[in-house]
Structure 1
Amino acid sequence: MPRGDKGKYTDKQKRKAEHIEESYEHKGVSKDEAEARAWATVNKQSGGGEKKGGSGKTTSASEKKTARSDSAKRAAKTRQGHSRTSGSSLESQSKESLMKEARSKDIKGRSSMTKAALVEALRKHG
């Protein structure tokens, strides 16, 4: 596409540029400057003319927002760690995780404990 060729722009983009250009001319900006500013604005807002390629899949803003929200909820759930409701939840944790919990409960001798000992101490400590 040679420089200055507007053939790849949609009709909507062309109308928008024309409207912006008229607005600048009304404010006293020269014709050439108004045109340059108008197309710069259209390019900034829409990324330029029609592009080749892509997946062809269009995702609406609301779908993107929902996907982001779902992703954030999954991430928050992951950060919460294991639930303490089941008796086997302590066994399913890593030793490092058990060590952190023991440290937060100030269990003495935790550094030399095995994983099984940490589980037992945490159960007793409540």
Structure 2
Amino acid sequence: MPRGDKDKYTDKQKRKAEHIEESYEAKGVSKEESEARAWATVNKQSGGGERKGGSGQKNSETAKKKARKSSGKRAAATRKGEPRPGQQLEEMTKAELMDRARKHHIARRSTMRKSELVEALAKIG
């Protein structure tokens, strides 16, 4: 079930969420899941409630658009196996390290522990 009240959403956003919810229910998704997905979609598309007041966020519409755009770029980079900006090797999962090691053709990577992968990747830069 979606959290919080929906007072900050415009009537248009509420209608959009209702239509999306109905569409998911027609596909056989449960009522609760449909509602959660609908509001997630509305939030993704419009950046959340558009009426003033409430949470204290002072993001302008241009700031919201910029944040959504950079979010998409980061997600695409993650899918390609690129590290997140500022991410240290030690913070990466073993699977992420294995992918990087594979791309750099590091020998015997399948037998390495996480610490050994970090060490080998650190050597190549």
Please report the TM-score for the alignment, with normalisation by the length of structure 1: 0.42
Higher relative contact order (CA 8 A, sep 6+): 2
If you compute each CA radius of gyration, which structure gives the higher value, 1 or 2? 1
Please report the TM-score for the alignment, with normalisation by the length of structure 2: 0.42
